[in-house]
């Protein structure tokens, strides 16, 4: 199945690690031009890439990073928001501080809002925006109040932006646990248990590529839940 992403101008936040890095690699394998934005330094990748350091919660720096990538590629066809943090996973409500809550929402929600806001002037007609939300928007575990709240907000933000932005599709992917440094840090060796349903960052990247491509041209304002069907049981 051809995705026709060759030559497309793509910007990925959170591209230094995990799902963002897998997305960057997958777009490059399709022949796209990829701008990598992260607050950390990104690995060296082969292909038409440029990396810009920026924190997605720092509006002027993020806007400048987006403009730098967009000027180099002559606009943006695809924007992927993968930058995110999990916050104090496993912390009960009584011990969750307002600072914990605010910091998770700042990266996971405000960061996506700022990405859309500052990418908008550079988007080509028919462009696609894809956010990483999570199955935690729908299926919650204890001790994850800030994270679950933030991912629910990303789903709502996706719908609001799909209505707001004419001629631009906005969707999000909601995976269950993905084997990345984030999940390893939060869950540890349980990821190696063969009975535990865990997916690879490359699995998620395939959904992102589909939503980025014209193959999904009728899909807009949607949350794609990729969780092995767990939430349907
Ligand atoms: P990760 O920690 O491997 O990668 C996240 C990247 O985001 C890192 O490179 C980090 O430096 C960057 N980042 C964090 N805060 C930033 C900021 N303020 N500004 C710029 N960059 C920042 O995590 P991951 O598992 O690849 O997660 C990517 C996205 O997928 C997140 O939004 C996460 O919530 C979501 N997600 C992850 C899982 C999972 O199980 N790993 C499941 C569902 C959804």
* Active-site residue list: 134, 147, 151
> Is residue 4 domain-resident?
no
> Is residue 93 domain-resident?
yes
Q: pLDDT by residue (tens digit) across 173-226?
A: 999 999 999 999 999 999 999 999 999 999 999 999 999 999 999 999 999 999
> Is residue 61 domain-resident?
yes
Q: Residue 195 maps to which CATH number?
A: 3.40.50.720
The parent domain of residue 142 ranges over 9-232
| Ligand 1 pocket mutation pick from 24, 43, 82 by most atoms within 8 angstroms of CB | 82
Q: In angstroms, rounded to a whole number, what is the distance separating the alpha carbons of residues 11 and 40?
A: 16
Crossing angle for the helix pair 98-105 and 145-164, to the nearest 10 degrees: 30
> Is residue 2 domain-resident?
no
> Is residue 114 domain-resident?
yes
ipTM score: 0.99
How many domains does the chain divide into? 1
**CA 138 / ligand 1 centre spacing (Å):** 18
> Is residue 3 domain-resident?
no
> Is residue 188 domain-resident?
yes
Assess whether pLDDT exceeds 70 at residue 1. no
**CA 85 / ligand 1 centre spacing (Å):** 5
Judge residue 191's burial from the number of C-beta atoms within 10 Å of its C-beta, 0-12 exposed, 13-18 middle, 19 or more buried. middle
| Ligand 1 pocket mutation pick from 12, 14, 87 by most atoms within 8 angstroms of CB | 14
Identify the three-state secondary structure at position 185: helix
Q: pLDDT by residue (tens digit) across 104-145?
A: 999 999 999 999 999 999 999 999 999 999 999 999 999 999
Structure token pair of residue 14? 């959170």
> Is residue 1 domain-resident?
no
**CA 88 / ligand 1 centre spacing (Å):** 14
- The set of protein residues with a Cβ atom below 6 angstroms from ligand 1 is 13-14, 16-20, 38-40, 55-57, 82-85, 107, 111, 132, 134, 175, 177-178, 180-183
């Amino acid at each position: 199945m051809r995705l026709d992403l060759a030559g497309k101008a793509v910007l990925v936040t959170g591209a230094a690690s995990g799902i963002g890095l897998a997305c960057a690699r997958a777009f490059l394998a399709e022949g796209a031009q990829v701008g990598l934005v992260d607050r950390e330094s990104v690995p060296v990748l082969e292909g038409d890439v440029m990396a810009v350091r920026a924190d997605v919660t720092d509006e002027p720096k993020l806007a400048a990073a987006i403009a730098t990538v967009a000027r180099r590629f002559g606009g943006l066809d695809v924007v992927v928001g993968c930058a995110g943090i999990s916050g104090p996973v496993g912390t009960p409500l009584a011990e969750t501080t307002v600072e914990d809550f605010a910091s998770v929402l700042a990266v996971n929600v405000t960061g996506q809002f700022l990405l859309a806001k500052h990418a908008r002037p550079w988007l080509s007609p028919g462009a696609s925006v894809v956010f990483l939300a999570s199955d935690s928007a729908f299926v919650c575990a204890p001790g994850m109040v800030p994270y679950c709240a933030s991912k629910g907000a990303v789903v709502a933000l996706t719908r609001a932006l799909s209505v707001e932005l004419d001629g631009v599709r906005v969707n999000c992917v909601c995976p269950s646990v993905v084997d990345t440094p984030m999940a390893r840090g939060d869950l540890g060796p349980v990821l190696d248990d063969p009975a535990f349903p865990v997916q690879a960052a490359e699995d998620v990247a395939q959904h992102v590529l589909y939503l980025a491509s014209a193959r999904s041209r009728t899909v807009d304002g949607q949350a794609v839940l990729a969780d092995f069907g767990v939430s349907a049981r």
